[in-house]
């Protein structure tokens, strides 16, 4: 009977160890996912800004100039929509 109780205690320790390893891996995974999301949002903003600058350059204007010219607002909105995709 003593042998069985030692065996059960060993199995409980292994089971507990597996739980802790699983929890650690899950926490690390969630942290990496959150870090990736946090880095992706600014990257998308930078890409959108570059896209709008390229559009303004194609129109031979600055982004500020496009914003001031009310005649170009519709095309600027279209460009912003395309750049954000």
**20 lies in which domain range?**
2-83
Give 57-67 pLDDT, tens digit per residue: 888 888 888 77
28, 38 in Cβ contact below 8 A? no
Backbone torsion region of residue 69, taken as left when φ is above 0, otherwise alpha when ψ lies between -120 and 50, otherwise beta: beta
pLDDT of residue 30: 92
Number of domains forming the structure of the chain:
1
48, 83 in Cβ contact below 8 A? yes
CB atoms within 10 A of CB 80: 14
Determine if the pTM surpasses 0.75: no
Give 33-59 pLDDT, tens digit per residue: 988 888 776 777 778 888 888 888 888
């Amino acid at each position: 009977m003593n042998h069985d109780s030692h065996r059960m205690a060993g199995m409980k320790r292994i089971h507990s160890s597996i739980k802790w390893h699983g929890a650690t891996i899950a926490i690390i995974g969630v942290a990496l996912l959150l870090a990736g999301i946090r880095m992706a949002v600014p990257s998308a903003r930078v890409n959108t800004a570059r896209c709008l600058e390229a559009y303004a350059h194609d129109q031979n204007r600055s982004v500020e100039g496009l914003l001031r010219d009310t005649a170009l607002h519709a095309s600027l909105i279209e460009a912003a929509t395309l750049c954000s995709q």
